[in-house]
Structure 1
Amino acid sequence: MLEVFVLVVVSVAAVRSAIVLRKSRLLFIEFKCPQVVASLVLLFPLGPLVMLIVSWLIGLLPAATLAVMCFIPGLVAIRRARRVFDRSGTDRTRSVQDALAVASITGIGGIAYIVCSVIITLAFFHIRAA
C-alpha cells in the first residue's frame, strides 16, 4: 500500500513540475539552460514503479539500483538548472525555481524511499532468518 502511495505522490509532483518547466521554456532559452530537465523529471515515477513491479522479477538490489537510476539524471539536470536560475537575478524565474525545488525534493524523497525500503526489507529477512 505504501508503494502505491509513493508512486502517486511522485507522479503528481513530477507531472506538475514538468508542466511548469515546459511552460517556461522561453526562460530556459533566454538563460541558455538545457530544456531536458522537464523530460528527465518525468522519469521520476518510474523509480517507485520499478520497485513495485521489477523487484519481483529480478530481485530487490538490482531493482533498487534501476530505481535509483531513474532519479539520478533528473537530479543532476535540476542542480545545473537551479544554479543558472539562482544567478539570474530576476523575479521572472520564480515559478521555474519553485518547480525545480519541488522536483528536487521529489527526487531526493524518491531515493530516500528506495533506500529505506531496501534497509527495511533486508532487516525483515535477516530477522526472519534468525
Structure 2
Amino acid sequence: MEFKIAKVEDWQTVIDEILPTMQHHILLLKGNLGAGKTTFTQFLLKNLGSQDEVSSPTYAIVNEYDSPKGNVFHFDLYRMNNMDEVEDIGIQEYLDSAFLSIIEWPEVYEEELAYLPHHVMTIENDGEYRLINYH
C-alpha cells in the first residue's frame, strides 16, 4: 500500500487503511529523522484504544503502552550499535509478550527480525509530502 499525505490529519486515513490489514504483531518503522514515525504511532495507539500519551522512545529505548487488546511496546533502536546490544535490552521477551511491537530504526536488528512475521512501513519526507509505503 502506498500513501501520500500532506497534513497531520491525513495520518488517520493511513490508519483507517492499514489497521484492518495488520496480521502480524511486529511493525518495523523506517524513515529519516522527523519523517513522522512517532506521529504515526500516536495515531495508531489512539485507534487501538490506548489512553496513554505516546512519545518518542529515543532515550528510554522502549516505551510501554496499554491498549484494550494488550501491551504495545514502542522501540527506538537508533542508538543501538549491534545485535548484542539489542538483545541485552531483552527485546525477545518484549516481542513474546506484546500484542504489538513497533520498532523504529530496526536496521541494526533486522537480520533477526527477518525470521519473524512482520509488517514494514517506510516514511519519506520530501518537504511537502510524506510518502508512505506499507507492506
Give the structure-1-normalised TM-score. 0.31
CA radius of gyration, larger in: 1
Using CA pairs under 8 Å that are at least 6 residues apart, name the structure with larger relative contact order, 1 or 2.
2
The structure in which a higher percent of residues are strand is 2
The structure in which a higher percent of residues are helix is 1
